[in-house]
């Protein structure tokens, strides 16, 4: 097993052949339980080790481990949960509520996934033994599905209320169960703090995810010409899942209100994108507007600008209001509409989980960038002369307009190293058109570039999309720089909406052509940068459609900071816990007074009998 496939908490998950084997193992775990006995997980104990990295040191705002009660769902020990079910009827984004944990990125992913019930239910492999205290779930890690068994003990405060993620209805438990299994997979709940929606969606669905940053050159052009809205709208119509956030600037506070209700450093679900029309009236001209519907995973805290709940724009546009709001009216549920132009000012990145329809192709390659290797080298991006020594995967396209999404991933630090580690190696890929029968790109020329990742970034994964004409292509995963000192594991994935022909089997990379092998090995040994990237502009004749601004001369590695610090939400949840505990204290005081009265009565009766 390669290092990119194995998690650091090896005792917390299993690699079953399929769901049937996972369910069989679940049955074995409860087979010899006595009547009325519930299964208890010995690998994820109900104590501080499952809550925090240091069991004796909670994160700021977190409750001391010995003050946390682990209450069982199916023993009816959780407050308000007197008839527990995994799912109540259907699922919707509003079912999900974030708790006292800074994992809005993951909770938002759950919220977005709730709009696609079949995908969500796919995560929970089995709940048929829930009454015996066990659930089985699966997550996509290291290029494969891994399985996790968890018991039904949830961390609660002294009032019996769930501390972390939970359902809007306490009887609907899928949110808490999935979050607990995900925490087990990563070692503890605290290891889920900070992250990106696309990472959560990737782990929950296994499909290709990409991050679109609004400050990159290509995206700026797309926002200006309107093509980004249409691109995202098309993806959403095809079933892709989306989220958004505003990264906090350097030195800025996290989860801070930008002034009109949007929190910096906080992740939101992106639920709908529409183009709406209002006919002219006696009071106003006709109006066309592009609107986006978002959701705050807190279930509260909404946009306060134009088109916010009950804003005057709705009354001025009754047709649009009837179409988008309907008779139900507005609710304080964390969901809100925002105009596209305002959306682009308030947010600065979107996450897309691309879900192509049936009928396309998909392949996953595992490999290594090996410094000095002639065909699997760490040759760096096209600005280096050593670029052709990178691994290359070739395929043929038959139909014009074939959409291809590429995704390259490196080691999952949260799962495979430590949640506190940061990425330092920027990665990406370049898609090149091949000439004739050559099996590899021998030299970078801009006119042969058919696409590339959205950017190069020190991230867990990076993706991009291109639309291709018929022909042969090479997908080339690379690091941004060519100065790697040791081999780096990667996974390269290619997905298309129409069938393609792959030219390699298994994880093999394209072989060097016989006459070029010596030349390529010399190039790898040189390891020097090209004098400059060619100024030659791409011809339009045989070139596929590229995202605007994606030229080799624009290449630069971007920084990638996580969303969210846990402090804000943890503090707010802690305040709620204090209120709950205060209510509990009042109730206990009442009970004590009642008991004192009973004791006094009994004592008086005892004396009277004397």
Instruction: Select which of 71, 103, 104, 157 is catalytic.
Output: 104
Contact call for residues 355 and 238 (beta carbons, < 8 A) = yes
**Which pair of structure tokens corresponds to residue 269?**
């679900």
Determine the Cα–Cα distance for residues 583 and 589; give it in Å rounded to an integer. Answer: 10
Phi/psi for 274 (5° steps) reads -135, 155
Q: In sequence order, which ranges of 95-196 are alpha helices (DSSP H)? A: 104-113, 117-123, 174-185
- Give the DSSP H/E element, type plus range, for residue 606: helix 567-609
Beta strands in 27-172 (DSSP E): 69-72, 96-97, 124-126, 134-141, 144-151, 153-156, 166-167
Contact call for residues 463 and 208 (beta carbons, < 8 A) = yes
- Burial grade of 302 (CB within 10 A; 0-12, 13-18, 19 or more): buried
Choose among 263, 255, 270, 269: nearest CA to 564.
Answer: 255
Phi/psi for 501 (5° steps) reads -105, 120
Query: 366 - beta bridge partners?
Result: 491
Exposure pattern of 132-154 as b/e (b: 16+ CB <10 Å)? bbbbbbbbbbbbebbbbbbbbbb
**SS3 (DSSP) at 385:** coil
Determine the Cα–Cα distance for residues 210 and 192; give it in Å rounded to an integer. Answer: 20
- Give the DSSP H/E element, type plus range, for residue 369: strand 361-369
Beta strands in 398-512 (DSSP E): 402-409, 427-433, 449-452, 461-468, 471-479, 488-496, 500-502
CA angle 506, 424, 408 (to 5 degrees): 25
Choose among 73, 126, 118: nearest CA to 91.
Answer: 118
Determine the Cα–Cα distance for residues 248 and 197; give it in Å rounded to an integer. Answer: 16
Instruction: Select which of 166, 266, 550, 568 is catalytic.
Output: 266
Instruction: Select which of 296, 390, 482, 550 is catalytic.
Output: 296
Establish whether 104 is a catalytic residue.
yes
Contact call for residues 586 and 579 (beta carbons, < 8 A) = no
Determine the Cα–Cα distance for residues 303 and 343; give it in Å rounded to an integer. Answer: 10
Determine the Cα–Cα distance for residues 340 and 337; give it in Å rounded to an integer. Answer: 9
Phi/psi for 63 (5° steps) reads -75, 145
Establish whether 296 is a catalytic residue.
yes
DSSP summary character for residue 511: P
Contact call for residues 78 and 70 (beta carbons, < 8 A) = no
Output the CA torsion 81→82→88→91 (10° steps).
Answer: -10
Establish whether 568 is a catalytic residue.
no
Determine the Cα–Cα distance for residues 352 and 243; give it in Å rounded to an integer. Answer: 7
Residue numbers annotated as active site: 104, 266, 296
């Amino acid at each position: 097993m390669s290092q990119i496939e194995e998690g650091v908490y090896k005792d917390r998950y299993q690699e079953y052949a399929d769901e049937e084997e996972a369910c069989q193992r679940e049955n074995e775990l409860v087979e010899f339980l006595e009547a009325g006995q519930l299964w208890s997980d010995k690998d994820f104990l109900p104590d501080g080790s499952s809550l925090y990295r240091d069991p004796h040191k909670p994160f700021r705002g977190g409750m001391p481990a010995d003050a946390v009660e682990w209450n069982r769902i199916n023993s009816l020990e959780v407050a308000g949960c007197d008839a527990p079910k995994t799912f109540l009827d259907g699922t919707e984004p509003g079912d999900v509520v974030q708790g006292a944990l800074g994992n809005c990125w993951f909770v938002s992913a759950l919220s977005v996934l709730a709009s696609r019930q079949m995908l969500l239910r796919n995560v929970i492999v089995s709940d048929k033994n829930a009454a015996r205290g066990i659930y089985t779930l699966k997550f996509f890690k290291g290029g494969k599905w891994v399985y996790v068994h968890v018991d039904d003990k949830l961390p609660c405060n002294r009032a019996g209320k769930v501390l972390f993620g939970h359902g809007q209805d306490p009887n609907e438990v899928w949110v808490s169960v999935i979050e607990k299994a995900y925490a087990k997979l990563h070692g503890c709940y605290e290891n889920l703090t900070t992250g990106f929606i696309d990472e959560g969606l990737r782990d929950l669905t296994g499909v290709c995810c990409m991050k679109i940053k609004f400050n990159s050159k290509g995206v700026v052009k797309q926002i200006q010409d309107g093509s980004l809205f249409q691109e995202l709208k098309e993806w959403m119509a095809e079933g892709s899942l989306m989220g958004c956030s505003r990264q906090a600037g350097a030195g800025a506070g996290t989860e801070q209100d930008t002034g009109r209700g949007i929190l910096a450093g906080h992740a939101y679900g992106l639920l709908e994108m529409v183009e709406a029309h209002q006919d002219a009236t006696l009071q106003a001209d006709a109006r066309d507007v592009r609107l986006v519907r978002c959701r705050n995973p807190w279930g509260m805290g909404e946009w306060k600008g134009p088109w916010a709940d009950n804003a005057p724009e709705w009354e001025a546009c009754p047709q649009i209001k009837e179409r988008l709001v309907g008779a139900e009216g507005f609710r304080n549920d964390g969901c809100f509409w925002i105009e596209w132009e305002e959306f682009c000012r308030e947010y600065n990145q979107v996450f897309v989980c691309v879900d192509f329809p049936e009928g396309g192709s998909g392949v996953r390659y595992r490999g290594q960038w090996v410094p000095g290797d002639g065909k699997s080298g760490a040759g760096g991006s096209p600005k280096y002369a050593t670029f052709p020594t990178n691994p290359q995967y070739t395929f043929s396209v038959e139909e014009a307009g074939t959409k291809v999404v590429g995704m390259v991933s490196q080691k999952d630090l949260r799962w495979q190293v430590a949640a506190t580690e940061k990425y330092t190696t920027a990665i990406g890929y370049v898609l090149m058109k091949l000439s004739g029968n050559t099996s590899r790109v021998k030299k970078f020329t801009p006119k042969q570039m058919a696409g590339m990742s959205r950017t190069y970034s020190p991230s867990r994964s990076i993706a991009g999309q291109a639309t291709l004409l018929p022909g042969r292509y090479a997908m080339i995963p690379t690091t941004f720089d060519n100065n790697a000192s040791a081999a780096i594991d990667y996974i390269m994935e290619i997905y298309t909406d129409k069938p393609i022909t792959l030219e390699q089997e298994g994880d093999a990379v394209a072989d060097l052509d016989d006459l070029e092998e010596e030349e390529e090995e010399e190039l790898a040994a040189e390891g020097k940068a090209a004098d400059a990237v060619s100024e030659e502009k791409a011809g339009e004749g045989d070139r596929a459609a590229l995202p605007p601004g994606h030229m080799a001369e624009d290449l630069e590695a971007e920084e990638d900071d996580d969303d969210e610090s846990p402090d804000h939400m943890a503090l707010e949840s802690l305040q709620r816990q204090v209120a709950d505990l205060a209510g509990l204290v009042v109730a206990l005081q009442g009970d004590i007074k009642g008991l004192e009265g009973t004791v006094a009565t009994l004592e008086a009766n005892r004396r009277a009998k004397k």
